Structure 1
Amino acid sequence: RFLEHMVSKLGVKMTKTPLRSWALTQNFTFPSMRVKACHVCKRRAFEAKLDPCEQCQAVLYCSERCRILDWKKRPEDVSHQYWCSKMEEYMKQCKTLADFPFTYTKEATSVTFDKESFLSSRELNCGYWVKESMLIHPPNQELEGWGSLSSHHLFLSLSPSSSVPPSHSFSLPPSLPLVPSLSLSLTWKEYYQRRGLDLDSPASLLLTYPLTIYYIITSLVPQHFPELNILTKQSLKIHIMEAHKEFDIIKVFWELSVLLPHVAFELHFVGDRLPKEADEEQFSMHRKDGCVTVASPNFAGEEKSDKKSIRVKGYSRPYYMVQGPKPDLVIGFNSGFGLSGMWLSSLPRLQSLRAPAYFTECSEYSCAIDDQIMGMATGGTISRPLVNPFRSPFRIIGIDNEMPWYSNAFVFHLVYKASPNSSKQQWQQAGGPERHAGPPEDAPESGRRKKDKKQNRNGQRKRK
């Protein structure tokens, strides 16, 4: 019916019955691994034998000619000569990144991992799992106001475990069991134990997003920005940048209210790929009858539900076009600064806000590219990337390389360029005199001359 409505605008009519009755079976799948290719000429593996670089073992080439061309590429910072030693270090992270407690770890971290077959074998082909599949894509349904949002928007209407067999469902209890001796720092294994999940459950593929935020709030921000006292805050406003995928699986972020029940969260999802109907719209998530529901704030209180809720707002636009108060925290998942020109405008916007901003990337190579873009856009840099304990356990297979890629594998924060007044403030904080006390002893001669002239003028006025 959707297709019939669209083609009718073109003056095309569809037959009332299909020409043949054929459809994909529920367990239909295909290999999700794309054929490997040469990094330079893009020749496929079935066209020529591909060998990795002898030194770094990361990049694939089909011939010595392609290897030399890549080595001598100009400008220098895009050549393999520049990146080879760096990639050699990146490859040393393979074992660390593949360290997970799950029963499917060996399969999911293999260089031949086939995610489509994995999902299909477990019949994970509905609900939020659709966003992880290359095969199944939902129709782009329109939102008809917040009153019908929870029943019409595909991802918001379905439970994350919808149509999942009981053995692979990950319906979570409403709250965590109290373990006073357990610190805020968690690992995947500890989290699964506290939530009563079996280590065979692939829920980590979706829960990597809220748990990464939890890790940033409880471990990284107190370390990098202790002056914020974030662990004592009772409310947090978080901006999630380029959040089109995260917005589609929005209910998984309810886990934040379970892990940090004392915090009232306000999440703003920003990105020009969000549905246009979601721009400037507000709604709330709350638990009702054991299920997380989404409703307009105007209607959220009409029905009986838990008092706890998460306020949500959408912006279908680039981040640099968003106006409003400074957020407590900015987060971006698998950001890819070098993949969109939008970042050249959004990063300066973050620089002006000077809000704590954390981003994740799939690899250290991507982090290095992000550092270059950050310097180009603002003159700032990024912190040293850290391995994210709540990264996705599913390996992403590269086409022209053998590097280990995992969603949300590394976390870093932006280091903004110092403001003009920062050096003066640091000098005063170190024990220097206040502004009214005049310049320090080592002030420039020009400053001293101005002071002497002013004193001479004052003396002349007194004599007159």
Structure 2
Amino acid sequence: MECAAKGSRRRCSGPANRRCDCGVVFYCSASHQISHWNVHKEECGRLKRQMCSVETLNDFPFTFSSEATYQVCEKVETRCSFLDKLGIHRTGIWICECSCGSSVFSLDHLRFDKGWSLSSRLCPCREPLSILKKQLCSWSEYYEWRGIPLDSPAALLLHWPLTIYQAIQLAFAEQLITETTDELCIHYLGPERELYQTAIFGELHALLPGVQVHIDFVGPAVPPDRDGETIDLYSYAHCLDANCSCKTHKSEFSSHINHDKPPEITLRFHSGYYHDRYKDLTKKFLPELIIAPNAGIAAYKSWLPTIELIREIEIPAIFSDYCEEACRLAVNCISSVTGTPPTIPVQLNPFRQPLAVEDTALLLPCYSNCFLFGI
């Protein structure tokens, strides 16, 4: 941990091992803590209240939950060691789930590596046995519906499509989009790891049956050589089992092959910032919903023109971030531009990734797509 007063007039006197009463920030000395109080006092109580929710944040139904949450946060486990125990460390589409893997993967390496690298017992590689009859509200409900055992790590990647599902349900509940639709266009802002895990979005076939979903991935992390690329998802990501029925759909996704029926899930890629690409994006489809995962709005000035654009076009937008504090700061930034509070208040995402983020700036537990709010 770094001293919260680092960068002030006085140099740090040593390691930051003096913990504030809020339990979230650290200081190198009493003098630095005292001098920083004018800055920290406004957030201290708020952070302390957020720390009271740690057990709720870490509450997952999986057999590996303790290792993936408390042990990673306490540095007993690392993401690498945890993934290694599951046999998926630096493998296929799992490769960018840890720092050492993300340093070696490349787009060309993963473009055609589309499978789960798991047995059929552990992943949703086929159609569900039943259509959804009620809204899913937890990982337990999802795993039971898809017939996956709770020792499966599939949720570590499924949080991407399930967060889209949750965002859509929130927009339905607030009547921001119509629930009876057979076509849905989503503008998905700031993708990073998702660009190398596109097969996972095939799960939207099960989550949104009968709906043609068009997702435009837009952001500076989209490689220029993928700008304008389209991928059609005709089936689910495949398992490892050679004789599994999921192999009957040989073309898992394709930009080139003609099929008898139109794709239900289409992904398009656009390099650059949303406010620069919006006019190009809307020549063919106007979006019903904007989704921005792990947005970091308070951390990046480039969000300002995008927020101004979203206010102007009046399209509902759902944001997520790694912790509640990041969302609170984002709400303040957005409200200063729009002059209004969020339409959907900050709330815990039941489908957050069940693997803690390492080496965070605050001691608050952080998870990918942890909290959601909307405007």
The TM-score, its normalising length taken from structure 1, stands at 0.70
SS at match of 2:353: coil
Q: Whole-Å Cα distance in 2 between the matches of residues 365 and 398 of structure 1?
A: 16
Question: C-alpha displacement at 1:154, in angstroms?
Answer: 2.7
- Cα 1:412–1:399 change in 2 (3 A) is closer
Q: Whole-Å Cα distance in 2 between the matches of residues 261 and 179 of structure 1?
A: 8
Q: Of 320, 325, 330, which residue of structure 2 is paired with 1:365? A: 325
2:158 pairs with 1:207: yes
SS at match of 2:234: strand
Q: What per-residue deviation string (whole Å, max 9, x for no partner) do you get for residues 225-262 of structure 1?
A: 25x32x21000001100113222211111101122111
Question: C-alpha displacement at 1:277, in angstroms?
Answer: 1.5
CA contact (8 A) 2:25 2:362 kept: yes
Question: C-alpha displacement at 1:222, in angstroms?
Answer: 1.9
- Cα 1:49–1:367 change in 2 (3 A) is closer
Question: C-alpha displacement at 1:339, in angstroms?
Answer: 2.2
CA contact (8 A) 2:23 2:48 kept: yes
CA contact (8 A) 1:233 1:263 kept: yes
Residue 67 of structure 1 aligns with an amino acid whose one-letter code is: Q
Q: Of 131, 151, 158, which residue of structure 1 is paired with 2:113? A: 158
Q: Whole-Å Cα distance in 1 between the matches of residues 143 and 183 of structure 2?
A: 26
2:172 pairs with 1:222: yes
CA contact (8 A) 1:360 1:411 kept: yes
Question: C-alpha displacement at 1:175, in angstroms?
Answer: 1.2
2:17 pairs with 1:50: yes
Q: What per-residue deviation string (whole Å, max 9, x for no partner) do you get for residues 178-197 of structure 1?
A: 267x4123311121122221
Equivalenced residue count is 349
Q: How does 1:217-296 map to 2 (within 5 A)?
A: 217-218=168-169, 220-225=170-175, 228-229=177-178, 231-287=179-235, 289-290=248-249, 293-296=252-255
SS at match of 1:396: coil
Residue 5 of structure 2 aligns with an amino acid whose one-letter code is: V
Q: Whole-Å Cα distance in 2 between the matches of residues 46 and 293 of structure 1?
A: 57
Q: What per-residue deviation string (whole Å, max 9, x for no partner) do you get for residues 137-191 of structure 1?
A: 34545xxxxxxxxxxx3323113423x5x49x744242111267x4123311121
- Cα 1:317–1:196 change in 2 (3 A) is same
Q: Which of the two has higher C-alpha Rg?
A: 1
2:54 pairs with 1:99: no
Q: Whole-Å Cα distance in 2 between the matches of residues 400 and 255 of structure 1?
A: 33
2:94 pairs with 1:129: yes
Q: Where does residue 351 of structure 1 map in the other structure?
A: 311
Q: Whole-Å Cα distance in 1 between the matches of residues 168 and 19 of structure 2?
A: 39
2:288 pairs with 1:328: yes
CA contact (8 A) 1:286 1:293 kept: yes
Q: Whole-Å Cα distance in 2 between the matches of residues 336 and 399 of structure 1?
A: 13
Q: Whole-Å Cα distance in 2 between the matches of residues 102 and 139 of structure 1?
A: 28
CA contact (8 A) 2:23 2:363 kept: yes
CA contact (8 A) 2:14 2:28 kept: no
Q: Where does residue 455 of structure 1 map in the other structure?
A: none
Question: C-alpha displacement at 1:101, in angstroms?
Answer: 0.4
CA contact (8 A) 2:136 2:142 kept: no
Q: Whole-Å Cα distance in 1 between the matches of residues 25 and 167 of structure 2?
A: 32
Q: How does 1:173-188 map to 2 (within 5 A)?
A: 173-178=125-130, 182-188=133-139
CA contact (8 A) 1:176 1:259 kept: no
Q: How does 1:27-66 map to 2 (within 5 A)?
A: 36-41=1-6, 48=15, 50-54=17-21, 56-66=22-32
Residue 38 of structure 1 aligns with an amino acid whose one-letter code is: C
Q: Where does residue 238 of structure 2 map in the other structure?
A: none
Where does structure 1 differ by over 6 angstroms across 4 or more consecutive aligned residues? none
CA contact (8 A) 1:58 1:88 kept: yes
SS at match of 1:404: coil
CA contact (8 A) 1:375 1:381 kept: yes
Q: Whole-Å Cα distance in 2 between the matches of residues 89 and 291 of structure 1?
A: 51
Question: C-alpha displacement at 1:94, in angstroms?
Answer: 0.7
- Cα 1:260–1:139 change in 2 (3 A) is closer
Residue 221 of structure 1 aligns with an amino acid whose one-letter code is: A
2:339 pairs with 1:379: yes
SS at match of 1:385: strand
SS at match of 2:168: helix
- Cα 1:351–1:269 change in 2 (3 A) is same
Q: Whole-Å Cα distance in 2 between the matches of residues 205 and 286 of structure 1?
A: 22
- Cα 1:89–1:398 change in 2 (3 A) is farther
- Cα 1:292–1:127 change in 2 (3 A) is farther
Question: C-alpha displacement at 1:216, in angstroms?
Answer: 1.9
Percent identity of equivalent pairs: 28
The TM-score, its normalising length taken from structure 2, stands at 0.86
Residue 48 of structure 1 aligns with an amino acid whose one-letter code is: P
Q: What per-residue deviation string (whole Å, max 9, x for no partner) do you get for residues 247-298 of structure 1?
A: 22111111011221110111100001101012123231213724562322xx
Residue 96 of structure 2 aligns with an amino acid whose one-letter code is: K
Q: Whole-Å Cα distance in 2 between the matches of residues 170 and 330 of structure 1?
A: 31
Q: Where does residue 373 of structure 2 map in the other structure?
A: 412
